[in-house]
């Protein structure tokens, strides 16, 4: 644990897709690009098998709120509910500590 | 947002596998089963493409520490570093709020 660790935020988005894939890949790519341009964005990790998990990292809680309310993102969320997702869960989290390993 | 929301913890484990898969699938399954038996365990989500993301959910920070130090888990972590992972990152987070959607 590092005493100088600066907490930041993670949004854990887990989802089950519907059978309707129409337009999904293009929109997902657009939203990833747009998220990267937002104030406070740090990074993003994504993987999908039976479920999809996307974790995005943000400097502040305010930056998460702003991104959720971005007009293009609101439209994408609406289409997600109408077409692409059978279910999803969003968890807003404060990252309190972290550690990592990298093979030399 | 629900004023009666009880915060809990999420551990975000992101990883890149090495080319050495020897014994990995069996150990991963064993660790999932073992984690489910631990005090404070709530649930787990997992997906893998280029990277793997496993998020486990816990009632308290203490339950996360206890699981990290579980003797069989310590052995699995050691083998992960020696063989299975090129890199990984562990983030310990407090879940501050959540919301979800389910198609009716």
- Average pLDDT estimate for A12-32: 96
Measured between CB atoms, does B40 come within 8 Å of chain A? no
Does residue A1 have a pLDDT over 60?
no
Counting one residue from A and one from B, how many pairs have CB atoms under 8 Å apart? 105
Pair type for strands A85-102 and B85-102: antiparallel
All domains in chain A, ordered by first residue? 8-95 (3.30.70.100)
Burial class of residue B102 (count of CB atoms within 10 Å of its CB; 0-12, 13-18, 19+): exposed
Which tens digits make up the pLDDT trace of A54-89?
999 999 999 999 999 999 999 999 999 999 999 999
d(CA A34, CA A42): 13
- B100–chain A nearest CA distance, Å: 4
Measured between CB atoms, does A88 come within 8 Å of chain B? yes
Give yes or no for a contact between A55 and B95, defined as CB atoms under 8 angstroms apart: no
By Cβ distance, the residue of B87, B88, B98 closest to A89 is B98
Output the CA–CA distances (angstroms, integers) from residue A74 to A81, B5, B41, in the order listed: 11, 25, 34
Chain B positions touching A88 (Cβ under 8 A) are: 100-101
Would you list the DSSP string of B37-72? TSTTEEEEEEEESSSEEEEEEES-HHHHHHHHH-HH
Q: pLDDT at position B4, please?
A: 81
The stretches of A1-104 forming alpha helices (DSSP H) are 24-36, 61-69, 71-79
User: Tens-of-pLDDT digits for all 104 residues of chain B?
Assistant: 556 899 999 999 999 999 999 999 999 999 999 999 999 999 999 999 999 999 999 999 999 999 999 999 999 999 999 999 999 999 999 999 999 999 98
Measured between CB atoms, does B1 come within 8 Å of chain A? no
What does pTM read for this prediction?
0.94
Tell me the backbone φ, ψ of residue A83, rounded to 5 degrees. Answer: -125, -50
Give yes or no for a contact between B12 and B90, defined as CB atoms under 8 angstroms apart: yes
- Give the ipTM: 0.94
């Amino acid at each position: 644990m590092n005493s100088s660790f600066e907490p930041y935020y993670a949004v854990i988005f887990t989802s089950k897709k519907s059978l309707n894939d129409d337009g999904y890949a293009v929109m997902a790519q657009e939203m990833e690009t747009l998220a990267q341009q937002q104030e406070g964005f740090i990074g993003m990790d994504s993987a999908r098998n039976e479920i999809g998990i996307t974790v995005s990292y943000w400097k502040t809680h305010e930056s998460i709120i702003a991104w959720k309310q971005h007009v293009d993102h609101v439209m994408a969320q609406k289409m997600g509910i109408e077409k692409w997702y059978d279910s999803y869960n969003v968890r807003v989290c404060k990252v309190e500590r972290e550690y990592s390993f990298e093979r030399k």
